[in-house]
Amino acid sequence: MKESIAALLAGVLFGIGLAVSGMLIPDKVLNFLDVAGHWDPSLALVMGGALMVTIPGYYLVTRKPRPVLAESFSLPSATAIDRRLLLGAAMFGAGWGLSGLCPAPALVNITTGLVDVLVFVGAMLAGMLLHKLTQRA
Amino acid sequence: METTFTPIASLAGGVMIGLAALMLLWLNGKVAGISGIVGSALGDYSAASRWRWFFIVGLLSGGGLALYQWVGTSEIVLRASLPVLIAAGLLVGYGTRLGSGCTSGHGVCGIGRLSPRSIAATCVFMAVAALTVFVQRHVMGA
């Protein structure tokens, strides 16, 4: 139960951070990606701000024997820079560039109730499910 | 649509995102990769996935309230047509699962632990996204 509460609070803080940072606004994301147009560098600072915390923080936390509420750390073990990684990242980049939405802002923007957002998120979840099903086969 | 540079708010929001990711690692030992959390939670209602659903509920409630409070829903405008949005959604959903992460998982958490895999993935999705916007806005003139 404590783990669930911790996850809930982390989610709340993550969501507030997204809203404060401007990441929820697709125009702002697209203007960040549009280096040849009216470039808005704001989102570089979002990533910079997050990394200012996670780079030293992850280093310190992972030196501990275990997390506070769980038995062990669940960190990705894959290290290979393979075709799947690069192809997946390229597909994601194309979808992000076409829409201005990456997964977390897309989910939060559901709360607007906009049909466009709901259609995008429906397609995104379908894409995730498609991957899940094709991996099993 | 032009947007204004918001260095203070963006930096502050970024720090909050980083703190949220760090909190999840420190307390639960988990990585705050949104595509991984959602993709793994889909269809999984077991106890092992419970924390994922709580995280998603927190994300939507915290983010939703903050959106209404400080951003305004009128700011959220998607300019692509519905068919393009469907294609984009499929690419984002399938691509983030195939590539094991998105902006949060690779960009914030993976680079946070200096993973070469995440640095490579982030460079690729940033470059492809920028190229996509360039082609759309400056080549096709949308």
Residue B103 touches chain A, beta carbons under 8 Å: yes
Residue B50 touches chain A, beta carbons under 8 Å: yes
Q: Do B91 and A98 touch (CB under 8 A)?
A: yes
Q: Do B132 and A47 touch (CB under 8 A)?
A: no
ipTM over cut 0.90: yes
Cα–Cα distance measured from residue B126 to residue A67, given in angstroms and rounded to the nearest whole number: 32
Closest chain A residue to B72 measured between Cα atoms? Answer: A112
Q: Does residue A137 register a pLDDT over 70? A: no
Which of A34, A89, A120 lies closest to B137 in CB terms?
A34
Query: What are the pLDDT digits (tens) for B63-118?
Result: 999 999 999 999 999 999 999 999 999 999 999 999 999 999 999 999 999 999 99
Query: What are the pLDDT digits (tens) for A19-72?
Result: 999 999 999 999 999 999 889 999 999 999 999 999 999 999 999 999 999 999
Q: Do A93 and B124 touch (CB under 8 A)?
A: yes
Q: CA of B6: how far to CAs of A102, B3, B66, B129, in Å?
A: 20, 9, 17, 21
Q: Do B96 and A86 touch (CB under 8 A)?
A: no
DSSP secondary structure of A6-17: HHHHHHHHHHHH
Residue B95 touches chain A, beta carbons under 8 Å: yes
Helix, strand, coil abundance in chain B, percent, nearest 5: 75, 0, 25
Against a cut of 0.90, is the pTM above it? yes
What are the backbone dihedrals phi and psi of residue A109, each rounded to the nearest 5 degrees, phi first? Answer: -70, -10
Q: Do A120 and B107 touch (CB under 8 A)?
A: no
Structure confidence at residue A90 (pLDDT): 98
Lowest mean pLDDT among A79-83, A116-120, B81-85: A79-83
